[in-house]
Amino acid sequence: MACKAVILDYIGTLVTPQNYSLEASITKLHKALCNAGLKTNPTEFQEAYKEAHEKHRGTRYQKLREVTNAVWVSEALNKIGCPVTLEDSWLKSGLNVFFQDFVNSLELRSHAKKLLEIASENCKVGLVSNFTYAPAIHSSLRKLKISQFFNTVVISHDVGWRKPHKMIFEQALKALQVKAEEAVYVGDSPTEDIKGAKAVGLKTVFVPSQFYSLAELQQCSEKPDLIVRDLREICADFARIIRLEKFDE
35 φ/ψ angles, rounded to the nearest 5 degrees: -65, -25
50 and 121 housed in the same domain: no
51 and 63 housed in the same domain: yes
Of the given ranges (8-17, 47-56, 167-176), which has the lowest mean pLDDT? 47-56
pLDDT band for position 17 (50/70/90)? very high
Domain extent, residue 125, equals: 5-17+108-248
| Average pLDDT in the chain | 93
Q: Which residue from 11, 103, 4, 119 is spatially nearest to 95, judged by alpha carbons? A: 103
pLDDT for residue 143 = 98
In order of 25, 33, 64, 143, 147, the CA distances from 176 in angstroms are 35, 39, 23, 24, 15
pLDDT band for position 59 (50/70/90)? very high
Q: What is the CATH number of the domain that holds 160?
A: 3.40.50.1000
pLDDT for residue 130 = 98
135 and 238 housed in the same domain: yes
- Specify the pTM: 0.94
How many other β-carbons are positioned within 10 Å of the β-carbon of residue 85?
A: 9
56 and 160 housed in the same domain: no
CA angle 203, 128, 15 (to 5 degrees): 100
Residue 178 has pLDDT above 70, yes or no: yes
Please spell the DSSP secondary structure of 134-158, one letter per residue: HHHHHHHHHHTT-GGG-SEEEEHHH
134 and 11 housed in the same domain: yes
51 and 115 housed in the same domain: no
130 and 219 housed in the same domain: yes
- pLDDT, tens digit, for every residue of 189-229? 999 999 999 999 999 999 999 999 999 999 998 999 999 99
31 and 154 housed in the same domain: no
116 and 195 housed in the same domain: yes
Query: How deeply is 248 buried, as exposed, middle or buried, from its count of CB atoms within 10 A (0-12, 13-18, 19+)?
Result: exposed
- pLDDT, tens digit, for every residue of 69-121? 999 899 999 999 888 888 888 888 899 999 999 999 999 999 999 999 999 99
CA distance linking residue 195 with residue 204, whole number of Å = 9
Please identify, among 104, 136, 153, the residue that sits at the C-terminal boundary of a domain.
104
Q: Which residue from 225, 216, 217, 174 is spatially nearest to 197, judged by alpha carbons? A: 225
Q: Which residues contact 42 (CB under 8 A, 6 or more apart)?
A: 27, 30
Please identify, among 55, 84, 104, the residue that sits at the C-terminal boundary of a domain.
104
pLDDT for residue 1 = 64
CB 40 within 8 A of CB 159: no
Please identify, among 79, 104, 129, the residue that sits at the C-terminal boundary of a domain.
104
Report the pLDDT averaged over residues 180-189. 96
Q: How many domains are there within the chain?
A: 2
90 and 147 housed in the same domain: no
- pLDDT, tens digit, for every residue of 120-172? 999 999 999 999 999 999 999 999 999 999 999 999 999 999 999 999 999 99
pLDDT band for position 15 (50/70/90)? very high
161 and 218 housed in the same domain: yes
Peptide bond into 42 cis (omega under 30): no
CA distance linking residue 6 with residue 34, whole number of Å = 44
234 and 135 housed in the same domain: yes
Q: Are strands 124-129 and 152-155 parallel, antiparallel or unpaired?
A: parallel
